[in-house]
Amino acid sequence: MAQKNAQVKGKILAGKVLVKPHEAETKTASGIIIPDSAKEKPRQGTVVLIGAPKKDEEMEVKKGDVVLYGKYSGQELTIDGEEYLLLSQSDILFIQ
């Protein structure tokens, strides 16, 4: 399923990253449909906003990067009816 182009306006604090999580898988590779109750939360998303760098830490991610983050990382937010995740840059494990 294609992702909508996220156009979020606003400002976030230093060292923070706003991510649009990717959709959870609805089918296994063999074609078995996964019920909502068994779906895992996605741990991958696209960066839509970044805050200014902290004094002691440069921002390594940029808008549009696809990132992987920890299972219990960040704060879930709803902005204009869309679901987002606000992370500290240190919660990001990998940039694709």
Total-model pTM: 0.76
**DSSP code of 93?**
E
Which tokens in the block code for residue 47?
């960066």
- Model confidence at 5: pLDDT above 60: no
CB atoms inside a 10 Å sphere around CB 8:
14
- SS3 per residue for 1-31: CCCCCCCCCCCCCCCEEEEEECCCCCECCCC
User: Quick one: CATH architecture of 16-95?
Assistant: Roll (2.30)
Distance separating alpha carbons of residues 17 and 48, to the nearest angstrom: 8
pLDDT score, position 1: 36
Q: Which amino acid is at 60?
A: E
Write down the domain spans for the chain: 16-95
Give the pLDDT band (50/70/90) at residue 43.
confident
